[in-house]
Amino acid sequence: MTGLSIENISMRFDLPNGSFVQALKDVSLDLGKGELMSVLGPSGCGKTTLLNIVAGFLAPTDGRIVLNGHTVQGPNAERGMVFQQGALFEWMSVRENVEFGPRMKGTPVSERRQSADHLLEITGLKDFKDKAIYELSGGMQQRVALARCLANDPDVILMDEPLGALDALTREKMQGLVLKLWKETGKTIILITHSVEEALLLGERLLVMAPRPGRIHREYRLPFAELGVDQDLREVKKHPEFGKTREEILSMIWEMEEEIMGRTEDA
Ligand SMILES: Nc1ncnc2c1ncn2[C@@H]1O[C@H](COP(=O)(O)OP(=O)(O)O)[C@@H](O)[C@H]1O
Ligand SMILES: [Mg+2]
């Protein structure tokens, strides 16, 4: 059995004052090998919590995560994480960052070198391999984060707003890179984003979550990620269906946020 199953996941955080937050309630989802899913939803709807549970950083209150037939018990290299920023080793070079996982695993030097060279090539980092992390721009650092994650050859890649800190132009380039890496490596990817456009571009499947309690609100299956592998992303955005779906999702999220505001004001 290959693929990722999120089975009836609920997560409740008990607070010191005796109250609790129901961060997730009964979230179920199957993701086939090689599928690319983006996740959207208002702030606080449990996106990061869900990703942390899939990563094995958090144990759910209820439910389980099954990957390739076995239940997830904790963090493991089969599930790689890419954060928004700050998770690189600043004191190591680009190459050393990319080779870190394989080195820890005891992969022979020549083998890990070769694999790192390939990853540095496809992420556009070849000419930067000896630079220190602090010498790189934010976009280049996220390239390193992607390459370092791929170097562990995970089955699933989990990304929590990986492009959220980048300027618009760099972000667009990086969106193209994510699509290219997805196609070249055939990895299963879950990508959280705040941007509706990014979710449309980077999700064959797009999940809209709703808050209080965090749950799945709606799922879309979209053609744009596949189109974006070969086409300019600006062209993809001109697709009539793209604009229509964007407006639909924007209204959906607006309504949720209005409702949250309303409830907060009433309280
Ligand atoms: N460790 C924690 N303790 C208590 N509450 C938490 C904790 N982590 C997250 N929460 C709460 O759970 C809800 C979901 O949070 P999160 O998953 O970070 O949402 P998102 O990533 O969608 O913005 C929020 O109400 C948040 O305050
Ligand atoms: Mg979050």
Cα 42 to Cα 55, 81, 189: the distances in Å are 21, 22, 21
Which of 4, 23, 40, 141 is closest to 83 using CA atoms?
141
Same domain, 94 and 218: no
Same domain, 142 and 166: no
Residue 114 — φ and ψ, nearest 5°?
-65, -45
- Taking a C-beta distance cutoff of 8 angstroms, is the pair 23, 214 a contact? yes
CATH number at residue 193: 3.40.50.300
The pTM (predicted TM-score) of the whole model is 0.95
Q: What number does the ligand 1 atom closest to the CA of 43 have? A: 23
What is the structure's pLDDT at 55? 97
Q: Secondary structure of the chain in the HEC alphabet?
A: CCCEEEEEEEEEEECCCCCEEEEEEEEEEEECCCCEEEEECCCCCCHHHHHHHHHCCCCCCEEEEEECCEECCCCCCCEEEECCCCCCCCCCEHHHHHHHHHHHHCCCHHHHHHHHHHHHHHCCCHHHCCCEHHHCCHHHHHHHHHHHHHHCCCCEEEEECCCCCCCHHHHHHHHHHHHHHHHHHCCEEEEECCCHHHHHHCCCEEEEEECCCCEEEEEEECCHHHHHHHCCHHHHHCCHHHHHHHHHHHHHHHHHHHHHHHHHHHC
Residue 24 falls inside a structural domain:
yes
Same domain, 44 and 97: no
Same domain, 130 and 182: no
Same domain, 145 and 247: no
Cα(41) to ligand 2 centroid in Å equals 10
Per-residue pLDDT of the chain (267 residues; tens, 9 = 90+): 689 999 999 999 999 999 999 999 999 999 999 999 999 999 999 999 999 999 999 999 999 999 999 999 999 999 999 988 878 999 999 999 999 999 999 999 999 999 999 999 999 999 999 999 999 999 999 999 999 999 999 999 999 999 999 999 999 999 999 999 999 999 999 999 999 999 999 999 999 999 999 999 999 999 999 999 999 999 999 999 999 999 999 999 999 988 888 876 655
Residue 16 falls inside a structural domain:
yes
Residue 200 falls inside a structural domain:
yes
Residue 181 falls inside a structural domain:
yes
What is the structure's pLDDT at 167? 92
Same domain, 105 and 30: no
Same domain, 60 and 179: yes
Q: Whose CA is nearest to atom 1 of ligand 1?
A: 13
Which of 40, 137, 149 is closest to 87 using CA atoms?
149
Domain stop point among 153, 178, 209: 153
Same domain, 148 and 178: no
Q: Whose CA is nearest to atom 12 of ligand 1?
A: 23
Same domain, 120 and 173: no
Out of 14, 19, 20, 21, mutate this one to test ligand 1's pocket (max ligand atoms within 8 Å of CB): namely 21
What is the structure's pLDDT at 205? 98
What is the structure's pLDDT at 124? 94
Same domain, 177 and 128: no
Cα(3) to ligand 2 centroid in Å equals 24
Residue 262 falls inside a structural domain:
no
Tokens 């997730």 sit on residue:
24
Residue 261 falls inside a structural domain:
no
Q: Whose CA is nearest to atom 3 of ligand 1?
A: 13
Q: Is 136 in the pocket of ligand 1 (CB under 6 A)?
A: no
- Number of the ligand closest to the Cα of 23: 1
What is the structure's pLDDT at 176? 96
Residue 259 falls inside a structural domain:
no
Q: What number does the ligand 1 atom closest to the CA of 52 have? A: 17
> Which structural domain range is residue 126 located in?
87-153
Cα(117) to ligand 2 centroid in Å equals 32
Same domain, 70 and 137: no
What is the structure's pLDDT at 231? 95
Same domain, 177 and 145: no
What is the structure's pLDDT at 266? 59
What is the structure's pLDDT at 160? 96
Per the structure, how many domains does the chain have?
A: 2
Q: Is 256 in the pocket of ligand 1 (CB under 6 A)?
A: no
Domain stop point among 153, 172, 197: 153
